[in-house]
């Protein structure tokens, strides 16, 4: 069987939308390695081949100078064999599949040979429809696996211009466990806003987002997707052809689109499209979108300053929002510290007023846990004055108090 080796830093990633929407959790090194394999698949391939990746190519592609990348990529290859993707099927069923069926390291050559699990064939080979393609350079230097996944999820809907997720669904797709980012503000700060910065700085698309509430809770996030100026966007499409297609999708005629592509720079055209979409979403276009875009293109000399000012305004708004968010976080931490003191006082009062019924409940609780039982009982005796017994009794009583998170929210509301 032939193997395939190539430098993957200038290659195209093509994945079925089902695989993009799958639920899984990978580290950033694991997802980079998997995408480097995908980038070696050619559109005419009818079967998988063993795919080889040089570790020096990996280091060059992701822009690392670290001496640890040999260890990082070897560990990523080993881990990918046990990582599972949960894919939805059209018939309502599901498929759970490993990313790799084998991984082999060639000592002295700095080379890995990797094989996809055969069950991934329908999602990576002979794709005719319902797939997403992008230049791998958009994501290899991103430092967050969540940012890479969000890029793919939004790239899939780039032409539609927006995509909405329920927060719980998005967390599931990203492989975020229930114990991670339990508070929405943490999820927003460390996942959504991180992806916002990463995509804006490094990829061919960016986004704004809107929070959709159900009652007082943020239930969904609406992403507004925007094309950016990047030398490696519109892969495998001639620049003129790609721009003409973009303008045609915005409602211009073939003749108008070709004229603007001939007379204006690619940068001006993409700026005009982005500016028009932004004005449309803001409800400021009173005529047809195509007519507005045509007017903007005809005023290309003044567009750049408008666009740059808009970008500055966006950045200022984001900086202000981030500052407000940090201030809210600091205030919340202060309140948590104050609440913990209040709760500690409640616990102390509960401890002082402990009844025989409380102690009997503690005995039953301790006997159900061999680890605790061994520490609080001397044979069959329970010395209530023993320090370790008091500490475990305190833990038992604390479990009887209302849930800390819910009690904290209730306490804040009472103070308001």
Q: Consecutive 10-residue runs of the chain (416 residues): their mean pLDDT?
A: 54 91 94 93 89 88 72 88 90 90 89 94 89 91 94 92 94 91 91 93 91 90 85 49 75 85 78 80 78 81 54 62 73 81 84 87 81 78 82 81 75 75
Considering the four listed CATH numbers 3.40.630.10, 3.40.640.10, 3.40.190.10, 1.10.10.10, the one that applies to the domain covering 1-128 is 1.10.10.10
State residue 416's pLDDT score.
63
State residue 153's pLDDT score.
97
State residue 8's pLDDT score.
47
Structure tokens at 64: 């690392």
State residue 314's pLDDT score.
59
Q: Which residues contact 276 (CB under 8 A, 6 or more apart)?
A: 250, 285, 289, 292, 293, 296
Q: Which residues contact 315 (CB under 8 A, 6 or more apart)?
A: none
Cβ(43)–Cβ(104) under 8 Å?
no
Parse the chain into domains and list their residue ranges.
1-128, 142-236, 239-298, 342-415
Cβ(186)–Cβ(203) under 8 Å?
no
Cβ(57)–Cβ(12) under 8 Å?
no
Q: Which helix (H) or strand (E) holds 226?
A: strand 217-227
Tell me if 1-128 shares its fold with 142-236: yes
Cβ(411)–Cβ(405) under 8 Å?
no
Considering the four listed CATH numbers 3.40.50.2300, 3.90.226.10, 1.10.10.10, 3.90.1150.10, the one that applies to the domain covering 142-236 is 1.10.10.10
């Amino acid at each position: 069987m032939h193997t395939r080796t190539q430098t993957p830093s200038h290659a195209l990633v093509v994945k079925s939308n089902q695989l993009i929407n799958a639920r899984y959790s990978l580290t950033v090194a694991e997802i980079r390695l998997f995408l480097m394999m995908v980038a070696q698949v050619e559109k005419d391939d009818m079967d998988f081949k063993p795919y080889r990746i040089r570790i020096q190519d990996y280091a060059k592609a992701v822009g690392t100078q670290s001496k640890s990348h040999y260890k990082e990529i070897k560990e990523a290859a080993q881990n990918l064999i046990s990582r599972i993707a949960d894919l939805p099927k059209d018939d309502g069923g599901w498929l759970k599949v490993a990313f790799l069926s084998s991984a082999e390291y060639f000592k002295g050559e700095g080379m890995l040979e990797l094989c996809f699990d055969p069950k991934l064939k329908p999602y990576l080979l002979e794709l005719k429809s319902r797939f997403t393609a992008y230049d791998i350079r958009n994501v290899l230097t991103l430092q967050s696996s969540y940012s890479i996944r969000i890029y793919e999820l939004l790239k899939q809907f780039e032409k539609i211009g927006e995509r909405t997720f329920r927060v719980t669904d998005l967390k599931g797709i990203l492989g975020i466990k229930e114990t991670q980012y339990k508070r929405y503000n943490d999820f927003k700060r460390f996942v959504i806003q991180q992806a916002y910065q990463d995509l804006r700085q490094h990829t061919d698309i960016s986004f704004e987002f809107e929070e959709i509430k159900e009652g007082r809770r943020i239930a969904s996030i609406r992403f507004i997707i925007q094309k950016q100026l990047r030398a490696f966007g519109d892969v495998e499409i001639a620049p003129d052809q790609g721009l003409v297609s973009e303008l045609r999708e915005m409602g211009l005629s073939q003749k108008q689109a070709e004229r603007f592509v001939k007379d204006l720079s690619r940068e001006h055209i993409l700026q005009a499209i982005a500016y028009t979409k932004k004005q449309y979403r803001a409800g400021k276009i009173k005529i047809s979108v195509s007519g507005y875009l045509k007017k903007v293109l005809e005023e290309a000399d003044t567009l750049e300053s408008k666009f740059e000012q808009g970008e500055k305004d966006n950045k200022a708004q984001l900086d202000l929002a981030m500052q407000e968010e940090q201030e809210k976080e600091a205030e919340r931490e202060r309140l948590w510290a104050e609440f913990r003191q209040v709760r500690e006082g409640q616990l102390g009062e509960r401890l002082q007023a402990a009844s025989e019924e409380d102690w009997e409940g503690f005995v039953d609780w301790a006997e159900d846990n061999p680890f605790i039982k061994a520490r609080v009982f001397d044979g069959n005796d329970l010395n209530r004055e023993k320090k370790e017994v008091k500490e475990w009794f305190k833990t038992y009583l604390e479990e009887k108090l209302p849930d800390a998170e819910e009690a904290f929210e209730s306490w804040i509301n009472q103070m308001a």
